[in-house]
Structure 1
Amino acid sequence: MTTVENASQKPPKTRRLSITRLLIAITVTAALVAAGVIGARSWYSSANTPEIDPWFAGYVDVTATPTFAFETPKSDAAKNVVLSFIVAKSGEDCTPSWGNAYTMDEAANSLDLDRRIARLQQQGGEPIVSFGGLLNDELATACSDENKLVDAYQSVIDRYSLTTIDLDIEAGNLADTDSSARRAEAIASLQKSQKADGKNLAVWLTLPVAPTGLTEAGTDAVSAFLDAGVDLAGVNVMTMDYGDSRVEGQSMLDASTAALEQTHRQLGILYSRAEIDLTSDTLWSKIGATPMIGQNDVEEEIFSLADAKAFNKFVVGHNLGRMSMWSLNRDVTCSPNYGDTRRVSDSCSGVPQGDASFADLLGKGIDGDPVVSAAVVTTNEPLAPVVEDDPATSPYQIWSPDSTYLLGTKVVWHQNVYSAKWWTRGDLPDNPVLETFETPWELVGPVLPGETPVPIPTVPADAYPAWDGATTYREGDRVIVGQYAFEAKWFNEGEAPAAASTDPDSSPWVVLTDAQVQELLDAQETPAG
């Protein structure tokens, strides 16, 4: 677990959509997002395919001291665990180790790990092993021999009888494009061989996230897995340590829910590019969330008990496939001897908890079995038909490629309301971009039932002269550009009024407000004298 990486890298090859398919995907997806949902049908290919069974499992740092007794869970919420981290052993790049401190044999002897895992399984708990993490090389980063890499992963799966694995890819492991391709191919081969042996293997990809969604390196990692043919159980995002990506005044809860919503949007695009159509419900089931409880590594970021309760409500309400937390080791109030709770501890949360448990709050109502979910197979699903926008039930004008829109202008497109972030013309509001900075439109929300057009005063075409770049204008002069009227703030010539939308302070023009336009219309309707 770590802070958000801003790594930028050349994306791996991805399958391309035809223009026809892309246009269909754009219009269909946008229409289905209306009212916050894309569809409500199950995404499974046959009645015999198990449905997703959302589960909770907290991470356990296996090598941390004091040793955490995951084999004797304090509550039902702690019965499933994500054991971390399997990494490459220094000097033996294709040998799995626990945190580069113990080989699997050494962990069995020194930590009694095999026996403790067996005890957990006897009690109905499920171990999930996480590969990677922040501090060491994930196996694919260090091991360049593809056959040995597959064998290394397989040895961990066989030793601990795993049905679900977690690949925590961050920092240098995430930025390494060569290892990304190796990892994806190895996991695809592994998943195929497990299936041939009649065994299920669910693969979760755990990635850093910002309130604006996955980083470019993160979306590249997802694409690499999909291109390799991996059937991802889901993408688990680390809703923590946002740093500068969290805007001023944004709470940890709001930042985390925003991160999930943006990840949902991005996954829809990534699966569509991979020529796999999934409904909104299915996409939510392919998302996991992992907050860092209590004090985060970023000093001013604290994920409180109240945040945990509210976050659980969001996760359950959207039916995410997984909820985790970092970590079960830390799910307790720090002792009075721990002097500075702003300094992150491996063994306490840094916030007063009383009798409360983050695991119980985050895991409430999420009592599924990872073994059941591991049997789910991703399949294409039919998408609902496009619903055309109706001017009579649209609160704002319907977007047109021929119209110009200024900063703050609201439009309706495919049953959603969008607001312009800057001057724009011809840019689709629902263009499927992975990064929000690539589009001039911000999704506000769906058109609500029973809405009618909001009256917007329109400037008569002959109210003022059309702007002319060769004309000199003085303070107070008014001109028409398209459907907008502008007023000069000072003497100018050749200064396009449209710039007022993108740089209002420097532009000599200001667009007339609705109130000013209405005042003009009222004056025209009032008889002279």
Structure 2
Amino acid sequence: MGRRTTGALATAALLAGGLSLPAAAAETTAAETQQASMAVAPYLYNGWGSPPDPVPVMEQTGVQWFTLAFVLSEGTCTPRWDGTRALNGGPDQATIEAVRAAGGDVVPSFGGWSGNKLEETCGTAGELAGAYQEVIDAYDLKAIDIDLEASAYENPEVQQRVIDALNTVKADNPGITVYVTIGTGQDGPDGGMIERAATSGLTVDAWTIMPFNFGGNGQNMGELSVRAAEGLKNTVRDAYGYSDAEAYSHIGISSMNGNTDVGEVVTQEDFRTMLAYAQEHQLARLTFWSLNRDRPCDGGAVDSCGGIDQSPWEFTSILAQYTG
């Protein structure tokens, strides 16, 4: 999602590469389409919430990618889905195979709010990189998401371990897309990890904030999310010495549909506000927690619906309009 070469420079570059202009244009368009599809990858969690079948969702909404949660630790530096399910042979592998057979793909997410985190149980950056690599190799991945929350994010030593491990992963897997997802305040996240990463030479495809559970009760969550994203953009810009346009192309939003854990309400109109903002600035990522909750139900159970009036997969359908 970085800057594009335009005009005469683009033409010269394409011809020098031996591509005809129509073929090169088609190749560029295909790459950009995949990047936009990857950016909109709602979280799907097989651990709770009556996990939906992703294939009908793909057919009904046009979404092609899913962020599959969560890869955790079984108590050692060994990756397991939810800390218990093996990488191969279980429902998670079945989900990946079904999505790929339907023409899509997945972004496994490491971490999350609860459970044993590999980022904490792996004793060194090398061991953590090895755990990440095991999952990358198991599924021949194009992208990963590191969702660093709670005690894992609050520990500077763990932050640095993740940064060093991701530097190794990027070196060993050229072209892999790396997302890092963190919490935020209403004015953006604290800059500690982002500044630490920049100092350590780590660039990621999207520093992604979760603009919810941050005291937005009774306020416009769409506008608050944009405000927090602007704070993120400024932090990324200053840490890396980017222009504003470059900074926007390295940030993302991961919202939450419907009722949040602290009584905020994120509506369909809030998602449209975020979509317009992402489209205007060409953000690198625009997703949400979670597909499991993107449907109506009685009683407002937080694991299987968002607790507001909506159609099935309505929030997914809104973000699926993102074109990058």
Partner Cα separation in structure 2 for residue 173 and residue 43 of structure 1 = 39
> Which residue is equivalent to 2:54?
70
Deviates more, 1:307-316 or 1:170-179: 307-316
SS in 2 for 1:184: helix
- Contact 2:61 2:316 survives alignment (8 Å): no
Per-residue CA distance 1:484-524 (angstroms, 9 max, x = gap):
xxxxxxxxxxxxxxxxxxxxxxxxxxxxxxxxxxxxxxxxx
Superposition pairs of residues 36-435 of structure 1, within 5 angstroms:
42=4, 47=13, 53-54=35-36, 55-74=39-58, 75-90=60-75, 93-105=76-88, 108-109=89-90, 111=91, 113-195=92-174, 200-215=175-190, 219-243=191-215, 246=216, 250-272=219-241, 278-299=242-263, 301-335=264-298, 338=299, 341=300, 344-354=301-311, 357-366=314-323
SS, match of residue 207 in structure 2: strand
Query: Matches of 1:146 and 1:356 in 2, distance apart?
Result: 39
Deviates more, 1:289-298 or 1:148-157: 148-157
TM-score between both structures, scaled by the size of structure 2 = 0.85
Query: What residue identity is the alignment partner of 2:234?
Result: R
Residues 312 and 363 of structure 1 are in contact (CA less than 8 Å); yes or no, is this contact kept in structure 2?
Answer: no
Instruction: Assess if the C-alpha contact under 8 Å between 1:225 and 1:232 holds in 2.
Output: no
Task: Kindly provide the amino acid, as one letter, of the partner of residue 264 in structure 1.
Answer: K
Contact between 2:41 and 2:287, CA under 8 Å: does it hold in 1? yes
Q: Distance in 1 between matches of 2:259 and 2:78?
A: 34
User: Per the alignment, do residues 124 and 356 of structure 1 end up closer, same or farther by CA in structure 2, a change over 3 Å counting?
Assistant: closer
Distance change >3 Å, CA 323–CA 236, structure 1 → 2:
same
SS of equivalent to 2:256: coil
Aligned with 2:70: secondary structure? strand
Whichever residue aligns with residue 73 of structure 2, its letter is A
Shift of 1:316: 1.2
Task: Give the Cα separation in 2 of the matches to 1:321 and 1:186.
Answer: 22
Deviation at 1:190, TM superposition (A): 1.5
1:415 equivalent in structure 2: none
Contact 1:234-1:287 within 8 A present in 2 as well:
yes
Amino acid at match of 2:248: W
AA aligned opposite 1:154: Q
1:279 to partner: Cα distance: 2.3
| Residues 330, 256 of structure 1: alpha-carbon distance in 2 compared, 3 angstrom cutoff | same
Residue matched to 1:385: none
Counterpart residue type for residue 258 of structure 1: R
Give distance in 2, aligned partners of 1:291 and 1:77: 19
Amino acid at match of 1:318: H
State whether residues 209 and 253 of structure 2, in contact with CA within 8 Å, keep that contact through their aligned partners in structure 1.
yes
How far, CA to CA, are the matches of 1:249 and 1:66 in structure 2?
29
Cα distance in 1 for residues equivalent to 2:68 and 2:52 = 11
Given residue 317 of structure 1, which amino acid in structure 2 is its aligned partner?
A: E
Give the drift of 1:239.
1.5
Q: Report which of the two has the higher share of helix.
A: 2
Structure showing greater radius of gyration is 1
Distance 1:76 1:253 in 2: 22
Distance across 1 between alignment mates of 2:258 and 2:149: 21
Sort the Cα spacing of 1:319 and 1:187 in 2 relative to 1 into closer, same or farther, 3 A. same
> Using the alignment, how far apart are the partners of 2:245 and 2:62 within structure 1?
24
Which fold has the larger relative contact order, with Cα–Cα distance below 8 Å and residues 6 or more apart in sequence?
2
Give the aligned length: 300
Write the distance in 1 (CA, Å) between the matches of 2:297 and 2:232: 33
Q: Aligned to 1:290, what secondary structure does the other structure show?
A: strand
Task: Supply the AA of the counterpart residue of 2:319.
Answer: L
- After TM superposition, give the deviation of residue 249 of structure 1 in Å: 6.0
Q: Match of 2:57, SS?
A: coil
C-alpha displacement at 1:285, in angstroms? 1.4
Gaps of 5+ in 2: 18-27
- Matches of 1:266 and 1:138, distance apart in 2: 26
- Please list the CA deviations of residues 259-286 of structure 1 after superposition, one character each: whole Å capped at 9, or x if unmatched: 11111111111112xxxxx222221111
Is the 1:334–1:350 Cα contact (8 Å) retained in structure 2?
A: yes
Q: Equivalents in 1 of 2:5, 2:144: separation in Å? A: 22
Could you state the TM-score of these two structures normalised by the residue count of structure 1? 0.53
Q: Say if 1:41 and 1:293 are closer, same or farther in 2 by CA, change over 3 A.
A: closer
> Percent identity over the alignment?
25
